[in-house]
Amino acid sequence: MHAQAEIDLDHLLSMTGGDADLAEEVIDIFREQAAIWSRLLDPRADASQWADAAHTLKGAALSIGADDLAEACRKAETAGRDLPPSVAGAALLLNEVKDQIAMTLEACGRATHALSRPGLRASKASNS
C-alpha cells in the first residue's frame, strides 16, 4: 500500500484568512492548474517545457500545502534545468510527479469534505 498524499489544511486556511469558502476556491484553482500543466509533463518534450510545467505545479502545490507534490516537482524542475536526463530518466521523474498529482487530487476531495465541517464556514444567515 502506498502513502496517501495530504493537504495541509492549517496552511491552506492560514493562506486564505481562515475563510473555508476561499480555501475551497483555491483547491478548485489547483485542480484546474493540475489539469492544464500536467499535459506538458512529456518526457519526450524539450526539458525546458516540462521543467517550466513542474515549476508552475510546484507553486500551485505549495499554495494548498501539498508538500509531497511540491517536492516531486522541485526534483523534476531542477533536473530539467540543470542537467536534463535521458528520456527514460525524465519519464521516471515525471511519472513521480504525475503519481503525486493523482494522489493530491484525491486529497483535494478529502480537504473539500473537511472544509465543509460545521464551524469552518461563516453562517450566511447571520449576515442578513
Q: What is the CATH number of the domain that holds 51?
A: 1.20.120.160
Confirm whether 103 is domain-assigned.
yes
User: Is 90 a domain residue?
Assistant: yes
96 part of a folded domain: yes
Q: How far apart are CA 80 and CA 49, in angstroms?
A: 9
In a domain, 37, yes or no: yes
Does a structural domain hold residue 80?
A: yes
**pTM score:** 0.87
Range of the domain at 39: 9-114
pLDDT digit string (tens) for 60-104?
Answer: 999 999 999 999 999 999 999 998 999 999 999 999 999 999 999
Residue 121: the pLDDT is: 58
* Residue 85 within any structural domain of the chain: yes
Confidence (pLDDT) at 123: 43
What pLDDT does 122 receive?
Answer: 54
Q: Are the C-beta atoms of residues 49 and 65 closer than 8 Å to each other?
A: no
Q: Which three cell numbers stand for residue 128?
A: 442578513
Amino acid identity for residue 25 in this structure = E
pLDDT digits (tens, 9 = 90+) for 4-36: 778 999 999 999 999 999 999 999 999 999 999
Number of domains in the chain: 1
